[in-house]
Chains A and B, each alone.
Chain A
Amino acid sequence: MESAEPEPSGSRPEEEEEEEEEEDEEDGALPAPEQPLAGMEDCLAKKMEITVSEAEKRTGRNAMNIQETYTAYLIETRAVESQSEGQCAPVESLWRRYSEFELLRNYLSVTYPHIVVPPLPEKRADFVWHKLSADNMDPDFVERRRIGLENFLLRVASHPVLCQDKIFYVFLMQEGGWKEMVNETGFQLKADSRLKALNATFRVKNPDKRFTELKHYSDELQSVISHLLRVRARVADRLYGVYKVHGNYGRVFSEWSAIEKEMGDGLQSAGHHMDVYAASIDDILEEEEHYADQLKEYLFYAEALRAVCRKHELMQYDLEMAAQDLTSKKQQCEELATGTVRTFSLKGMTSKLFGQETPEQREAKIKVLEEQIQEGEEQLKSKNLEGRDFVKSAWADIERFKEQKNHDLKEALISYAVMQISMCKKGIQVWTNAKECFSKM
């Protein structure tokens, strides 16, 4: 028997397997890596309008029968009909709360571990600057969360793989019974424990280099975006201060103008412009929050990337352990068969100390081992296959994600620049007006 080496986790060109396309993913098995029909054109987002249109405060009893206040979000969907009939399809709607969104996402992450699953908006307000409330019930926070949840749904609906998931579809269409349906899939059982994953991260010997690099990238991306968001919040805070202090000019100019004759009018009207200037910062900073939200999405996306890398490490580690186990079993078998002890084993020591086994005993052991080896080899083979498939499909999604990321972040930067330009123009306008008032003094 040749020793089975764990196959290198890179893809092997001669084994381009054509998998059957699987449309039904309810059993939670790993979906086929290639889905030629599920291109962007067929994704759910094109067939259906999805919005999270409202948010409502509710009180109710939770699982522990304790009264609590929470926010419910209204999801509205409408099929996109062909325009020839001129008729609009009816709008369907249902209410969901944030925890249900979380459940959906967990389900998707476990069920599609090779996919970079879109993140949810933050659970608690983070990276706030002083004016924003860190309270989850704050209307501004709720509003931004509403937008974030809508964004999440649209992202999932436009994903070629995720949009076909039935659980997702039911989430959008059927309010009652959905939770039970999700739990019935038993996805929680398939979830990898965090501890197991951490162990794998440290112990894996031969992960795919691309994933190692991706892991580093996602760590650094998380770090840099966090830093950026923190500093941005401080910048916003300071800028707010600068603008608001100018409001004091308004008051003092007004008071001063009362004792002046010719200068009075000019001072008074200039003071008004200072008030306008001070007030303008509120809208400016509110707009900037949208930019911060865009950055946050990619901060959380980095975590999703990391999750895919973790999955790979886990699978690879699993594979390596299986291969190692197989090798050791084979060795044991060989030793028993030939009677030589090449490696140290407890068995060897005890047999030395307490005498050899009977031939019958040895035969029995060898048989068992051979069976196990057989099993092991099959398992190893399928694990290898799984691993390669995972890498392939994961990498395809990662490439898709990269493009999306580059596109989205560029758009975000452009919109940020546009915001800054608008702020500068407003500033010029106000000070030009003030200057004119001063000139009439």
Chain B
Amino acid sequence: MSLWKGAGGGTGGCCARSSSSVVAAAAASCASSHRGGGGQAPAAAPQLLAEAARPPLPPSLPRSLPGPGTMSSGAASAPKPLPSSGPKSLREMPHPLATSSSEEMGPALTPSPDVLLPRSIADKDLSLPNGTPVDTSSPASSSSLLNRLQLDDDLDVETRDLFVTVDDPKKHVCTMETYITYRVTTKTTRAEFDLPEYSVRRRYQDFDWLRNKLEESQPTHLIPPLPEKFVVKGVVDRFSEEFVETRRKALDKFLKRITDHPVLSFNEHFNVFLTAKDLNAYKKQGMALLSKMGESVKYVTGGYKLRTRPLEFAAIGDYLDTFSLKLGTIDRIAQRIIKEQLEYLVELREYGPVYSTWGGLEVELSEPLEGVSACIGNCCTALEELSEDMTEDFLPVLREYILYAESMKNVLKKRDQVQAEYEAKLEAVALKREDRPKVPADVEKCQDRVECFNADLKADMERWQNNKRQDFRQLLMGMADKNIQYYEKCLTAWESIIPLLQDKPETK
């Protein structure tokens, strides 16, 4: 087989699956086998389906046909064919982005054209697309999630068949260490999973492992970031409620992003992460396999240097650079605001009680002054809540995106490497001037790698752009909301003491 086998053994064709089911596709006339994880397949599916209704399923694909009942939400949908590329080769498939200007390719599996898409999004009792119940206390409140759903026309709840949630953090105290585990719950109708439901406990290390594995096995894709491993902000309590909750949200986001990804969500490591009772055993196994296969498994290219980055990727690179810069600035501004707010709070905390002291001196003014004191106290509380929310909900998401942009730039660099290798080899061949008119196989392999990488990356970029827009929309609206709530609380406090102040104690 090829060198492209991931640790999980996924191979072959332009399928969305990286499991062994792809073996058959490898037999298909893809010009070369390449890493499981060609990102085009699901996006290509609608075109394929449109062009060739229901291509025949490769016989060796076990349990691969989703029957009507296996789709989520029980909608009356026609049986969907596999998002497989079938017998077509990579080159024959139209590029998914070629005609995508009119259609927004959502991250989900898009239904076949004849399926009616119920738009019951008006119902506010919606749970999140991944099945988690709506958490109204988080900035991802139902209304903003609603907006998120309505933005992306193709994000149809009905077609999701994998729901993952991270919750229930628990502290474990052992002799050697203390750490936190999180419950990872999976609900799915996918064939790749033996059971419809799973519940496992994972710790940060495990998430880190998963991310590394994904980077290794799907190097042409953008892997979502993890929250920072180490927090260097003075003395941060790793076990404080706020820290744990912030981390939990980030880990939940991480898994949801993978779940939403048409290629990554089928990654075998991801599957194991979600399902295995003993992840450590699997990890060890993986390591053994790795050492057996040697370094060749790793996606390593020699030190080839790319001369010029193609325009579109250069544009992406530039965009990411500026984007990171701007986010960095926003992060600093947000931190500065929080700092100023806390200093303001310190002064307010001294200010309120002085009115109270004064009230103690007075007779007729005693109540009004006490009222003002209490009012300022209420404003203090409201301000404290605002600062906390910004620290816990706003800053972490900003930082996540900065990390995201960094890892994306690395993927761009890897892409450059792949292209550089191809160009170098091509040049070498041209220079040799041998009688062989045909391009040698390994150069062709390189070319395929380049084209696959480019395609995956472009598809992921577009998906990422869309998600980014939704995420920031939600984030910034949340920030505005928090500020509105703060002012509303203060307004209520001050309005409520006006009658107290105006009260004339005639009969006292």
Contact = CB atoms under 8 A, between A and B. Distances in A.
A417 B472 contact: no
Interface string B241-260: 00000000000000000000
A252 B330 contact: yes
Question: Interface residues of A toward B: which range?
Answer: 35 or more
A432 B369 CA distance: 32
Given A217-B361, A220-B361, A431 B473 contact: no
Interface string B455-499: 000000000000001001100110011011011101100110110
Interface in A387-441: 406, 409-410, 413-414, 416-418, 420-421, 424-425, 427-428, 431-432, 434-435, 438-439, 441
A84 B317 CA distance: 84
Contacts of A266: 473
Interface stretch (A53-61, A69-77, A96-104, A237-245): A237-245
B344 A239 contact: yes
Contact of A410 (B355, B480, B501): B501
Contacts of A410: 365, 368, 501-502
A127 B82 CA distance: 75
Q: Which DSSP category, helix, strand, loop or mixed, fits chain B's interface?
A: helix
B364 interface: yes
A230 to B, nearest CB: 9
Interface stretch (B18-26, B55-63, B318-326): B318-326
A391 B476 CA distance: 67
B372 interface: yes
B456 to A, nearest CB: 22
Contact of A441 (B351, B476, B501): B476
B104 to A, nearest CB: 11
Interface in B162-191: none
B73 interface: no
A270 B480 CA distance: 10
A259 B322 contact: yes
B488 A428 contact: yes
Contacts of B476: 270, 434, 438, 441
Interface string A228-270: 1001101101110110011011001001100100110010001
Interface stretch (B94-102, B269-277, B333-341): B333-341
Contacts of B358: 221, 224-225, 228
A252 B328 CA distance: 10
Given A410-B365, A435-B484, A242 B477 contact: no
A227 interface: yes
Contacts of B333: 245, 248-249, 252
Contact of B483 (A224, A248, A427): A427
B343 to A, nearest CB: 5
A438 B477 contact: yes
A296 B343 CA distance: 25
A246 B337 CA distance: 7
Contacts of B488: 424, 428
A416 B340 CA distance: 23
B329 interface: yes
Nearest to B490: A424
A421 B491 contact: yes
B357 interface: yes
B228 interface: no
B427 interface: no
A339 to B, nearest CB: 58
A228 B376 CA distance: 13
B354 interface: yes
A128 to B, nearest CB: 15
Contacts of A252: 326, 329-330, 333
Contacts of B355: 228
Interface in A40-58: none
Contacts of B487: 424-425, 427-428, 431
Most chain B Cβ neighbours within 10 Å, of A225, A237, A242, A435: A242
A238 B343 contact: yes
B473 A438 contact: yes
Nearest to B147: A439
Contacts of B477: 435, 438-439
Given A217-B361, A228-B354, A242-B340, A259 B484 contact: no
B495 A432 contact: no
Contacts of B297: none
A142 to B, nearest CB: 28
A249 B480 contact: no
Contacts of B341: 242
A249 B337 CA distance: 10
A255 B354 contact: no
B458 to A, nearest CB: 16
A276 to B, nearest CB: 14
B395 interface: no
A249 B365 CA distance: 43
Interface string B140-160: 000000010000000000000
A80 to B, nearest CB: 29
Contacts of A256: 322-323, 326, 330
B365 A409 contact: yes
B279 interface: no
A370 B491 CA distance: 77
Contact of B340 (A245, A263, A420, A428): A245
Contacts of B502: 410, 414
B347 interface: yes
B480 A432 contact: yes
Contacts of A249: 330, 333
A438 B340 contact: no
B424 interface: no
A427 B386 CA distance: 14
Contacts of B344: 235, 238-239, 241-242
B348 interface: yes
Interface string B178-217: 0000000000000000000000000000000000000000
A428 B147 CA distance: 21
Contact of A417 (B329, B336, B372, B480): B372
Contact of B501 (A241, A246, A417): A417
Nearest to A274: B333
A121 B491 CA distance: 32
Contacts of A428: 484, 487-488, 491
A441 B484 CA distance: 19
Contact of A432 (B346, B348, B484): B484
A296 B490 CA distance: 26
Contacts of B469: 262-263, 441
Nearest to A241: B340
Nearest to B343: A238
Interface in B296-324: 319, 322-323
B354 A227 contact: yes
Contact of B480 (A259, A262, A435): A435
Most chain A Cβ neighbours within 10 Å, of B329, B330, B344, B502: B344
A221 B491 CA distance: 29
B40 to A, nearest CB: 23
Contacts of B337: 242, 245-246
B368 A413 contact: yes
Contacts of A238: 340, 343-344, 346-347
A421 B496 CA distance: 10
24 contacts: A220-B361, A232-B351, A237-B347, A238-B340, A238-B346, A238-B347, A242-B340, A242-B341, A246-B337, A249-B330, A255-B326, A259-B323, A259-B326, A417-B501, A420-B490, A425-B487, A427-B484, A427-B486, A428-B487, A428-B491, A435-B480, A438-B476, A439-B147, A439-B473
Given A249-B330, A262-B469, 17 more contacts: A224-B358, A224-B361, A227-B357, A231-B350, A231-B351, A232-B351, A235-B344, A238-B346, A259-B319, A413-B368, A414-B501, A414-B502, A417-B498, A428-B491, A432-B480, A435-B481, A438-B480
